[in-house]
Structure 1
Amino acid sequence: MNRFVFLLCVSLIFLLSSSGCTDIIEPNQLAFVMGTAIDHTDDGGIEVSHQIVIPSQKSGPFQGGSSGSSDNFIVVSATGRDVFEAFQKIQRKLSRRLMTTHRILIAISEEYFNKHDVSKLFDKLNRDPANNLRDITILIKGGRARDFLMLQPPMEHLSSIAAGKELQINGMNSYSSRQFIIDSLSEGIRPLVPILQIKNIKMGSKEPGPIAVLSGFAVLNKKLKVTGLLDDAEGSGAAWMTGKGTSQGATIPWKDGSSVLSFRLTHLKRRIQSVRGNDPTRIVLTVKAEAYLLENTTSLDMSEADNMIAVQTYVNKQLQKELQLTMDKVKQWGSDVFGIGEHLHRKSPYWWNLQKDDWDENFKKTDVTVKADIQLRSFGLSGAPLND
């Protein structure tokens, strides 16, 4: 009996020890990367910077407290011949293992886009299973991406969190690293990348300080080089026409030239159609949205049906005109960020096989007409302007 009890105890001890996890890493052994910056170095290499939170600080982002404190995070940088080599050099400077699963964004400087092959940069993101590919890819205009990580925004604890929320509330949820890789590998579409620019802006009683401001979009070609920059208004229209927009605002000047109508546009959609005939390069791109009137400085009484119909017709005409200008501008650069090539690939596969190798040039010759289908859903709680 004693022998049986002894053997049972030994078996239980062996079973429990063999079933335990030997490679588990505790949270206090991890360094959580919230943002990554990519910059060009003078010797032609790459500089990688990681923004790492310090959750042990009482004023940190997971503990509450005031924002804008440098104790909330650290930024560690290193240079290398590729991302992994720089990553390893950063790891040697830290007492915790780097973890990129919770990363919010990857900031790449405009200089790096112009001087490097960005496709090589994303090889590690696509190959390494430690990356979730949900982080957003952005371009930092006119400065170093590392400087963006060093910012201390007035309303958030980290610049990466502030930028991520800024993109989200402005309806830009389709610009993940995964989507960037898909667009860069596709034959009939080119990437469209949000732009952040560091500007000195006065907020409150303090002196003007640097913050990151959403400043439009960068249009890339097949080689992932910047072919042109769109300002905020043009970029919003381009995002709508690419099918990546969700909501946006629009202020339309009225016919008298002195008053305006402002709308919130929701349920943004787009549809690409080929004009019937033997020429597949004649395309109609239709954008759709539901419009809600939020401000009216005209003399129109929007409770009258005739005025509602007239405003809806006018808004469609004006938005159609503005979007057509943006379309023609991007066409001159030859970068099909709208996915016209993908549409032609599906509709005319044999024709597409002869065109795809030089699509950036062939896209310039494509006849794309933009049409708007905006439905006015609400004119607000009042019909006539208050000054009437």
Structure 2
Amino acid sequence: MSKWRKSLLLLILLSFLLLTGCWSSKEIEDLALYAGLALDVGQPAPVEEEFEAKGATYSKKNKVMATIQIVPTKSTSGDEKKKMIAPKHYINISASGDSILEIFRQFSIRRDRPIIGHHLKVIVINSDLLKKQTIEQLMDFVLRDNDIRPSTLVFISRGKAQNTLISSQPNEIPAFHIYGMIRNRSRTSKVIQAVTLSKLDGLMYSKRSLVLQNLETAKGETEFSGVGIIKGSTGHWIGNLNQEDTEGLAWIKNEGHAGVIKTYDRDNEPITYEIKSMKSKTKVHVNDGKIAFHVSIKTEGRLIEIWNSKGHYTKDESNIKEVEELFKAKLKQTIDELMHKLQSVYKVDVAGFGEALALKDPRLWKSIKDDWDDLFSKTEVTFDYELKITEFGSFTDE
């Protein structure tokens, strides 16, 4: 066979492969795609109670309630669209049991299409559920399921997780909305780095304590409000850190990008500093087996808002120094309150000190990692702060 004929045959074979597509694929219109999953303490949903009252039962214990948010894909004809006054952009369905996979299979006898998790964006877990069940138990199925992507984001909620998948805003799909809110890390340090399923899997495997962004709901709206703490050794939720504590974590872990420091001046009027850069560096000291940490925090920003009408904040050096000290004191207070909660209240390290020690002395870390949370609570941690005002917005001296 000539060379050009071989090339032509190869080209034809390649074209067949490209045209066949995915042999095991299904038409998207034939599937029910769910974008959100909420897990709450188990109790039968109202529709379940009615089904069960009519004898529609099966063997189970109500340990968890799973709610999925289905994004309809069925196309609508022109005449049908005219009849629709307020089209619904998502459907939430709930069921309880003691196996998430089995609950999903129960959905199959209530829906007209199989549910599929290829487009799952967010998982929200209720904190009360995490007091009863471990995070490893609740995440086992979703980590094993090949349909669910490792990039799916995981959150926690002190209220009912299913309420985070409800929105009062027209045309809004709550799961997509929550997923998009993570982008606002560029505006505030109250939003932590996203915790994906793949990242969570690694943290659980290492038995390290961790935090998940907390969601609060009110009147059909959802807000990021602090973080929930999962104890590494038990896998249970043990408490929450508030919004300012969350900012403190960003400072210590060198993970912040933006935000503000608001404090009050001598006349108790608010004054605000806009962060333009925030950096921190953690140094590890090990002497005769005694571990200590020192964190240096540096920031530059602008004096952006002043409410005091009694006096004028000028660019005079002594004046600037006074204002910088006000903001520095507020930053120190934020860090001090966070460290008290981590070392004295919850006795967990979720601020990255263990990671710094593991890099500094891997052998020592290996010998103490199983007891690290307890050791951390007794470890000395010191800080120094450098804050500089470099801009004043559009302010002009008179």
TM tier relative to shorter chain: 0.7 to 0.9
Q: Distance in 2 between matches of 1:126 and 1:94?
A: 24
C-alpha spacing 1:263/1:274, structure 2 compared with 1 (3 Å): same
State the TM-score, normalizing by the size of structure 1: 0.80
1:205 is matched with which residue? none
> Post-superposition shift, 1:252?
1.6
Residues 1:335 and 2:335 aligned together: no
2:177 is matched with which residue? 162
Q: What are the equivalent positions in structure 2 for 1:1-388 lying under 5 Å apart?
A: 20-21=20-21, 22-42=23-43, 43-56=61-74, 71-142=88-159, 144-149=160-165, 151-154=166-169, 157-169=172-184, 170=188, 171-186=191-206, 189-199=208-218, 209-222=219-232, 223-254=234-265, 256-275=266-285, 277-278=287-288, 280-298=290-308, 299-332=311-344, 333-384=346-397
2:49 is matched with which residue? none
> Post-superposition shift, 1:273?
0.9
Deviating runs (4+, > 4 A) in structure 1?
Answer: 15-19, 55-58
Task: String of CA shifts for 1:26-63, please: whole Å, max 9, x gaps.
Answer: 222232222110122154522221101124477xxxx9
User: Bigger shift: 100-109 or 112-121?
Assistant: 100-109
Q: Distance in 1 between matches of 2:267 and 2:162?
A: 44
SS of alignment partner, residue 303 of structure 1: coil
Q: Distance in 2 between matches of 1:235 and 1:212?
A: 17
SS of alignment partner, residue 72 of structure 1: coil
C-alpha spacing 1:172/1:155, structure 2 compared with 1 (3 Å): farther
Q: Distance in 2 between matches of 1:244 and 1:100?
A: 31
SS of alignment partner, residue 229 of structure 1: strand
Q: Distance in 2 between matches of 1:186 and 1:120?
A: 15
Contact 2:263 2:326 in 1 (8 A): no
Q: Distance in 2 between matches of 1:279 and 1:261?
A: 45
Contact 1:55 1:72 in 2 (8 A): no
SS of alignment partner, residue 168 of structure 2: coil
Q: Distance in 2 between matches of 1:328 and 1:336?
A: 11
Structure 2: gaps of 5 or more residues: 1-11, 44-60
| Equivalent pairs, count | 353
Q: Distance in 2 between matches of 1:156 and 1:268?
A: 37
State the TM-score, normalizing by the size of structure 2: 0.78
Contact 1:138 1:195 in 2 (8 A): yes
Contact 2:71 2:89 in 1 (8 A): yes
> Post-superposition shift, 1:356?
1.7
> Share of identical aligned residues, percent?
19
Return the letter of the residue paired with 1:109.
Answer: N
Q: Distance in 2 between matches of 1:18 and 1:194?
A: 42
C-alpha spacing 1:257/1:146, structure 2 compared with 1 (3 Å): same
Q: Distance in 2 between matches of 1:370 and 1:93?
A: 58
> Post-superposition shift, 1:323?
0.8
> Post-superposition shift, 1:109?
0.8
C-alpha spacing 1:221/1:148, structure 2 compared with 1 (3 Å): same
